[in-house]
Structure 1
Amino acid sequence: MDKPSWIRVWEAKIPPKLKVFVWQILNRALPITEALIEKKVQVLPRCPVFLDGPETMEHMFLYCPVARALWDYSGLEYLGEGLPRHTFPLFLKRLLGLIDQPSVVMAVVAIFWRIWRSRNWVVFECKQFGIPALMRQFNQQYEEWVGLPADQAPRPQIPIMQSPTQVGDSHLVCMWDGATKGVSHSAGGMVLFDPARTLLLARGVQFSQMDDLVVVELLVLREAIIWCVEQGLSEVHFEGDAKVIIDKINQADTRDSKLDAVLEEIAHYFRTQPGFSVRFVGRENNRVAHLVARKTLSLYPTMSRFFDFQTWLVSRV
């Protein structure tokens, strides 16, 4: 690692053990299964967290659902675009070389540390964890490093109107909505909450040459489902105000000439994900997703995923 890049880590206000941790990453010295196999140790050659691939550093820090969720949550996933990903130490070296702000260096290190800690919980303590809890731990870790009060939550709860979620329900809630602007383009908004209705994530999607709001909202629901599946979430209530679509899905009615293919795809997700459900809420109870959809529409054709929807939402509601 060249001196300027290493100095960014060495001067960061993080515990010394975290600086050693980064050094271990850069020198491929972490005792993951890939390294153990090279040393002829008999271990299962797969990710111990989700069992969905070999445990390489590239998989663990970039492609594992835990890593993808934290990168998405942090809003920093764009930093690594265009960088080589075939070897993680090189990726990290190049990434650190692009970062000028100490707070961003701390956030990146916090992502890696939370991933590593969660992996060790599974391997050595046989503990399971939820991705929302991991996001809160990342939040707390980062806030401690940058010196903010421990009780100052960087993801404050967004007050929303009454919803059908029952007390004691452990499901997350993903609100979704669509918006159109003439025949030129359209957009959608997705907002993920924990069971207490605390904001976790928000995201926008854009479509071109699409002016049928029913089709747009169906596509947004599909994107919301895929988004949750990619994060490894298994218990989610999807809430929207598109009653026609929701009734068709809940009645298993996929007979619609212009919607049948997408409806069937969505129906497949609900058949294979028993913890997923979709339900109708009125527009007044779906206003947060509507705000994100309208904002995403206004950003067209800018890449909306670079926009910090969480901070923007807190300032609006």
Structure 2
Amino acid sequence: MSKKTSYILGIVLTIILGTILYYFVCCSVCCGKESCENKQKETKSAVVPEIKDATRNAFMIKDANGDLNIEMNDNFNFKTSNFSILDPVSGAVESGVLKLKDYLLGNPLKTVGITGLYKSDETNNSAYPNLGLARANSVKNYLVLHGVPSKQIDTYGELNDGINPDDTSTLFGPIEFGVLTSDPSDTSSMDELKTACDAIRANPLVLHFQTGQASISLTKEQRQKIADISHCVDKLGVKIQVVGHTDNTGNAAHNVVLGQQRADFAKGYLIKNGILDSNIETSSQGPKVPIADNATEEGRAENRRTVITIN
């Protein structure tokens, strides 16, 4: 073997030996042999996202203490982060609602509970404390429009991350129903409701916004107040009173019109959130009832308000 060949062979052996030593020493000591093997595996296989089947909850209403038993595959459907019922509602569901109406009218001590389900990754754009309660309220209105007495309906919201939408972001049946029988001698629930309604009258919901504003941002407490107001309307048959107020800047007659516009805007917001038009009355006081000093900008801002209460 020539000297030149021996030299080249030595270089090749050095490279091979260096590579082997690098693998066993660096991978095992510096980053851990197991870690290196995992990294190699990661480069060989792509991450495949988990695909979950869409949840499809059936429309079921059963009375354990009666003869009502309604069950069908269809139900009320919603888009994710939305509380409006998707059209069309199937004929089977409409037929089930009419059976429920007849059953409740014939059993005035029975109530149907509607529980709306929602996921933690949904956005709540409603006026209610959670999206589930907003969905339950939408279904309640559907029932009322089909003749079910609102006094015999209770609404709830429940977090449930076990429900999955389809690939069009549709949630199939995030609604559950239950039937209860009331005890006429137990007035505790009605007493609690009347206390909550009196609290609304003593401390109404007050909104501050400008006419033309596209949306209303509510606090947690304000959302709960709207839920309480809706409950008072359903159970006691009261009306919602929406009154617009202004500061004393400008023409008095114009301010009355401006106050009415603010009241109408708030009414539209309530209707959008599932409170029936027939349950809302609006009016304007213009600048007549200030609650702060109109001599300051802060006081005028307080006076530019819309008050929502019940009669």
Which category describes the TM-score, using the shorter chain as reference length?
Answer: under 0.3
Higher fraction of strand = 2
Higher fraction of helix = 1
Taking structure 2 as the reference length, the TM-score comes to: 0.27
Choose 1 or 2 for highest CA Rg. Answer: 2
Taking structure 1 as the reference length, the TM-score comes to: 0.27
